[in-house]
């Protein structure tokens, strides 16, 4: 029997008399898995839809018409609405979770956020992160502190955002267990 961490899974019997073992999915990195200098190319890109920009702008009560008024935006040098920059920060942070903070205890901060080029509706955003430092937590022995530099770029390879992010991440065997309920035969 397994320990609910995917180390060992029981064999399941299927109607065609074959036995298959259950394979756990990617569980994310723990503090011990990070090495300074490692670069993670995050696996998912995301095309920004007009509805993403509208909803995010409304949700955050951002009243700048450059994000939601096409007539207004047409009068600017961009000629069309800009994607809300805090959406870009949230999107690129989210893209990094699978590689960087799946086992996060807490975000400690985002620093040096830079937006060198605009994001427009219809752009597809990709990202990567480099580990720039790591250390044991002085106050919590079950955690470590990792700092990464993340770059987000569009479908043309143009950088649209950079930032440094510092997280507290669990050490291996210290994170809460995610319950894995098995389906019943009912």
In three-state secondary structure terms, 138 is coil
Task: Summarize pLDDT for 110-119 with one digit per residue, the tens.
Answer: 999 999 999 9
H or E element, residue 93: helix 85-100
**Which residues are CB-neighbours of 31 under 8 A, at least 6 positions away?**
134, 143, 144, 146, 169, 170, 171, 172
Task: Summarize pLDDT for 137-167 with one digit per residue, the tens.
Answer: 999 999 999 999 999 999 999 999 999 999 9
Residue 8 lies in a domain: no
- Domain interval for residue 104: 28-170
Alpha-carbon distance 100 to 93, whole Å?
Answer: 9
Residue 18 lies in a domain: no
- Section 31-59 average pLDDT: 93
Task: Summarize pLDDT for 89-110 with one digit per residue, the tens.
Answer: 999 999 999 999 989 999 999 9
Q: Give the CATH number for residue 95.
A: 3.10.129.10
Alpha-carbon distance 93 to 163, whole Å?
Answer: 9
- This prediction has a pTM of 0.81
Residue 144 lies in a domain: yes
Residue 186 lies in a domain: no
Provide the Cα torsion 167, 168, 171, 176; round to 10°: -110
Domain count, the chain: 1
Residue 185 lies in a domain: no
Alpha-carbon distance 168 to 12, whole Å?
Answer: 37
Residue 35 lies in a domain: yes
Q: Band the pLDDT of 9: cuts 50, 70, 90.
A: very low
Residue 75 lies in a domain: yes
Residue 16 lies in a domain: no
Percent of the chain residues topping a pLDDT of 70: 89
Percent of the chain residues topping a pLDDT of 90: 70
């Amino acid at each position: 029997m397994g320990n609910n961490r995917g180390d060992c899974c029981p064999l399941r019997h299927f109607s065609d008399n074959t036995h298959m073992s259950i394979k756990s999915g990617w569980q994310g990195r723990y503090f011990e898995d990070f090495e300074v200098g490692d670069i993670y190319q995050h696996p998912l890109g995301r095309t920004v839809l007009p509805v993403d920009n509208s909803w995010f702008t409304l949700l955050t009560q951002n009243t700048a018409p450059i994000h939601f008024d096409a007539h207004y935006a047409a009068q600017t040098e961009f000629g069309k609405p800009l994607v809300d920059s805090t959406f870009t920060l949230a999107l690129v942070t989210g893209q990094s979770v699978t590689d960087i903070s799946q086992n996060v205890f807490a975000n400690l901060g985002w620093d040096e956020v830079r937006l060198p080029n605009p994001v427009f509706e219809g752009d597809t955003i990709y990202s990567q992160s480099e580990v720039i430092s790591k250390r044991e937590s002085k106050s919590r022995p079950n955690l470590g502190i990792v700092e990464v530099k993340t770059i987000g770029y569009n479908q043309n390879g143009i950088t649209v955002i950079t930032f440094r992010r510092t997280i507290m991440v669990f050490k291996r065997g210290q994170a809460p267990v995610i319950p894995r309920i098995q389906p019943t035969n009912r």
